Amino acid sequence: MGIRPVCRTLLVSPLTRREQVLKELTLFKDFHVEKKEGRGELLEKALKLEKRLERIIDSLNLVIEPGVIEILEKGYKVLEVELKAKNWQELLEIVERDIGSRVNEVEGLLREKDEVIKRIEEGEARLAFLELISSLSKDLRVLRELNKFHARLAILKTKDIEELRKSLPRSLVISEELTPKDSLVFVIDRKGRGDFVERVLKAFEAIIVDLPSELPTIPKEAYNRALMKLREEKRRLGEIWKRLEEIKGEEGERLLAYWEAVKIAREALENGTSSRRFFILEGYVPKNKVDELSKRLKGIADLIVEEDGRGPTLMENKGYVKSFETITLAQGPPSLHEIDPTPIISVIFPIFYGLMFADAGQGFLLFLLGLLIYERARGDLRRWGMALMSFGTVATIVGLAIGEVFGFSTTHVPYLGEFLSRFRLIEVKEFSSAVVGKVLTVGILFGIFHIILGLLLDLYQSIRGKEREKILAEKLPSLLLYIGGLLFALSFIGGGYRFSNIFSDSIAPLIGLPCSTLAYISLPLITIAISLLLFTKPILHKRLSLMMDGVIELLLKITEFMANTISYARLGILLLVHVALMMVVNLSLGAGMVGIPLVIVGNIGVMMLEGLIVYIQALRLHVYEWFTKFYRGEGVPFRKFISETIRIRIKWVS
């Protein structure tokens, strides 16, 4: 687990062996290319084919990976296709040969679909207009035959007709009422006054009537013809959609498989640079796989390997731990000089989740859901199933510890009540001040442990990096200040919240030591921490003005530590909220048989709502309260030579 060291690699081969090198790297996979400058006709061919397939996949709404619901119902079912080829060129030719006709058909249907939709939109707009004038039985051919006059047919508000006549005193204006609000007007004037007539009609917001040449000149006949044409276009659109759905069902999976093949071909071909005689590829290889790569490329290419202490981050988590890489990557991948926190997260995150989602019944259902996803899914979704199993396990354990099963007491579980009650440590349903105090204290204690762990990791990273100034001026004083502050706070609380009693023999809470002992330990720690914060930089840099920076840093750290620690109280608060919610849900049983469905629906609702909220809160505690202590996440992720595929398997043949 952790970060696997990588080596910088320069690969050089004769240009004639470029295809062979790319094939071997495709099989090797663990090669991170630093520069992508590929070019050539074959790459252009792959790019064009990939874009064509992507357009088809988007248009057919093909899903690259099955959804969670589909996986739960049917399992992870995809079509796996194996392609045999000598090189990338032959692979692309196979793809074009196998699905070229289908791609052409789909593209033709999609083009026709767009044209039909456009005609339907135009037809609907035209039909709406013709519907207004369909009551006219007059032939409008006269409009097309008037050569010496400017004639215009328009639809105008009836109330504006008299004003139109006044505005066009020299024009002949004939009107006919279409509806109580709209009228059809026929305006005739001299040819030279045509522009003036058009401006006046525009000022009155008139709708110009102009029948297309392919329609009859009688409005009623034109309306009927346009309606028939529109119905025909809609029928054709339905046929196109039906055919596209048939292709989606018959060839959808195969199209996705061949798209994957073209995609990895493009990824491989765009790697490296070429001169007239040589093919050059720069990148990084895992240190433990350098010999394997050398054997693969023996006689094909020369390798120059060096360890430069830089490069991408290759996270080496496996199995259960890998399920929590998503949480680490929420902040970003670790750099080569950082600790990968994923193994720690894989232990602490489920504990936080289980504390807030504490219910043995709901936790067990969450475990079963995770198990079902794990058994049926693949890839990232399978890892999510494993994470859900861990969440459910801890939630079940904590639920038993507080005696909670679907909001009921464990003593009420048929046949198992007496047995399950043995695991109960506290009765949270009492909601007494003592119980609430214990629950909140547990949350705070987990937070203290979490923060101290982060500060220790931060100090360790600086020691490993030999950062002497940071150790003395920041890392060590932060740790001492936090621990000293906690011990002093316990001494203060044990002394009855009086400073005069911090050196008394009263017993401090939680750790059971005398207040005086804690005071004698904490005060020197705080003094050392403050001294290091205030004086380390001024002494090292011989600048007294830097002491003010130390003062500001001290005040910020005190505020930050207090806020961070209190924030972990949410672990207990959300547990109490969950118990209260379930008590309200279970009140429905007072309604008799009618209340049973309400309880079931209430449990499902609480699980869905709290399941998301609890995850967000656990994530927040890690990203904002913990990562800020030691983790930056500024690394560059290691990218394999080609992407992982779901459907396609390429077998290279000689």
- DSSP assignment letter at 6: E
The share of the chain scoring above pLDDT 70, in percent, equals 91
Instruction: Name the average pLDDT for the chain.
Output: 85
Residue with tokens 């005069």: 500
Q: Are strands 6-14 and 314-315 parallel, antiparallel or unpaired?
A: unpaired
Nearest alpha-carbon partner for 18 in 261, 275, 289? 275
pLDDT at 586: 84
pLDDT at 139: 47
Find the mean pLDDT for residues 36-61. Answer: 85
Measured distance CA(257)–CA(228) in Å, rounded: 42
pLDDT in tens, 108-129: 999 999 999 888 876 675 666 5
Given a contact cutoff of 8 angstroms between Cβ atoms, the answer to whether 345 and 468 are in contact is: no
Nearest alpha-carbon partner for 7 in 270, 272, 291? 291
The predicted model scores a pTM of 0.79
DSSP 494-557: HTTS-GGGTTSSPBPTTT--BHHHHHHHHHHHHHHHHHHHHHHHHHHHT-TTHHHHHHHHHHHH
Measured distance CA(93)–CA(262) in Å, rounded: 10
pLDDT at 353 over 90: yes
Measured distance CA(171)–CA(569) in Å, rounded: 85
Residue with tokens 């987990």: 446
DSSP 458-479: HHHHHHHTT-HHHIIIIIHHHH
- Domains in the chain: ranges and CATH: 129-230 (3.30.70.2750), 317-466+569-636 (no CATH), 472-563 (no CATH)
**Opening angle at CA 485, ends 482 and 489, nearest 5:** 140
Measured distance CA(205)–CA(182) in Å, rounded: 12
Terminus-to-terminus CA distance in the chain, angstroms? 38
Q: Are strands 32-33 and 408-409 parallel, antiparallel or unpaired?
A: unpaired
pLDDT at 214: 53
pLDDT in tens, 368-380: 999 999 988 887 8
Residue with tokens 């200040």: 481
Lowest mean pLDDT segment, chosen from 250-264, 328-342, 412-426, 427-441:
412-426
pLDDT in tens, 266-316: 888 887 776 667 888 888 999 889 899 998 888 888 888 887 778 898 988
Helix, strand or coil, per DSSP, at residue 264: helix
Given a contact cutoff of 8 angstroms between Cβ atoms, the answer to whether 589 and 328 are in contact is: no
pLDDT in tens, 461-520: 999 888 899 999 899 999 999 999 999 998 888 888 888 888 888 888 877 788 888 889
- DSSP assignment letter at 422: T
Strand partners, 189: 150
Helix, strand or coil, per DSSP, at residue 653: coil
pLDDT at 349 over 80: yes
Higher-pLDDT residue of 146, 303: 303
Measured distance CA(550)–CA(552) in Å, rounded: 5
The share of the chain scoring above pLDDT 90, in percent, equals 30
Measured distance CA(93)–CA(481) in Å, rounded: 68
Residue with tokens 């110009």: 208
pLDDT at 529: 92
Lowest mean pLDDT segment, chosen from 118-132, 376-390, 398-412:
118-132
pLDDT in tens, 517-545: 888 999 999 999 999 999 988 888 888 88
Find the mean pLDDT for residues 69-76. Answer: 74
pLDDT at 567 over 90: yes
64 contacts: CB under 8 Å, gap ≥ 6 = 57, 256, 646
When pLDDT is cut at 50, 70 and 90, the band that residue 363 belongs to is very high
Lowest mean pLDDT segment, chosen from 46-55, 165-174, 216-225:
216-225
The 3-state secondary structure of 285-323, one letter per residue: EEHHHHHHHHHHCCCCCEEEEECCCCCCEEECCCHHHHC
Which run of H or E residues covers position 247? Answer: helix 219-269
Token duo for residue 406: 């679907």
pLDDT at 212 over 70: no
